[in-house]
Amino acid sequence: MKITGVRLGKISVPLRVPFKTALRSVNSVEDVIVEISTDTGEKGYGEAPPTGVITGDTTGAILGALRDHIIPTLMGRDVDDLENLMIDLNRCVVKNSSAKAAADMALWDLYGKLYRIPVYKMLGGSRKKLVTDITISVNPPEVMAEDARNAVGRGYDTLKMKVGIDPALDVTRLTAVREAVGPDVKIRIDANQAWNARQAVRILDQMQNKGLDIELCEQPVPAHDLDGLRYVTERSIVPVLADESVFSPEDALTILQTHAADLINIKLMKCGGIYNALKIAAAAELYGAECMIGCMLEAKVSVNAAVHLGCAKGVITRVDLDGPVLCTEDPVQGGAVFREKDITVSDDPGLGIRGVDGVMWLDN
């Protein structure tokens, strides 16, 4: 199975409601789609969101990396030579993790189709279902409480909330949500690097002393401040999840060796795809740490790839893959089925994707 062509396109999928954090409000998912064609007629699909504030990857940067570096590296190559394809994909351009991830998942899709096996089984997995949390958008406390009640009414038992800009208001919002959903629903928070280490310990202690029962705190301090991250991990009773501090397997190894966090958040868009994500999962397993599988604000092509990884690796014990359920429509033919919190992986070959509707294809 040889690669004969690559098409690039853009897709826009409206959200059910605006996705609001303390820093931005988004009304739709705007992603790059990759379609790799082969001489057998099979096609592989990938996706990359332009999340510049986290990965540094804009739409233009993603398209440029694919056109100028990644596509020339892949053209004419045999899909069966997957290991060398992955090595060359990671070497052909530095950074650009989202563009690499889109190509990576399209190659895995084709490799599974070549051998007529779903990717999660190819990776040794047997579980077919995952349960995701859902993010509650930043709004006035009473609105967030109502949104949380509605989410629990739809079956969600784990909620994720963004915090960090105004600690006092964060506590008010969290208190409103906790009172609305009761003690049995898990609440995890994401500070997105907002605090310094001492602030983080103080704020997390305040939250727990108020009975908010926070399951975990994601990236409380700046990504580069590994000493600060370790300071929080050592002193807070709230488990700490490293997110922006972990882009690569090497980053994960540093976190694990220094005990700078309790858990690792694996996102394909940070690490460059399934190939590198497997290395992060293996490192975490060696050090006895658990992982979350997460996503940016993405449509189903790329989140579907994360589902296969989540179903394959037992070290992944927490799931934050709510992107597709936030969208008004599913443009993907095939792939995983998302029914609110319940995700069922596809048993079709590869990543199970037959096509993507509504793509505006571009001239390469």
List binding-site positions for substrate: 24, 135, 160, 295, 297, 320, 322
| Angle of helix 226-235 versus helix 249-257 axis, rounded to 10 | 50
Is the Cα torsion angle 327, 333, 338, 339 positive or negative in sign? Answer: positive
CA distance 360 to 317: 36
- Among candidate residues 319, 201, 223, 340, the one with its CA nearest the CA of residue 265: 319
The answer to whether 95 is a known catalytic residue is no
Catalytic residue chosen out of the listed positions 43, 100, 113, 162: 162
CA distance 30 to 49: 7
Distances (CA, A) of 158 to 73, 124, 155, 188, 278: 42, 27, 9, 8, 25
From the annotation, which residues make up the binding site for Mg(2+)?
A: 190, 218, 243
Q: In what order do the strands lie in the sheet with 158-162?
A: 134-136, 158-162, 186-190, 214-218, 240-242, 263-267, 290-294, 316-320
Q: How many CB atoms lie within 10 A of CB 253?
A: 17
From the annotation, which residues make up the binding site?
A: 24, 135, 160, 190, 218, 243, 295, 297, 320, 322
The DSSP secondary structure of 86-99, one letter per residue, reads HHHHHHSSSS-HHH
The answer to whether 270 is a known catalytic residue is no
Catalytic residue chosen out of the listed positions 100, 267, 313, 341: 267
Just list the catalytic residues: 162, 267
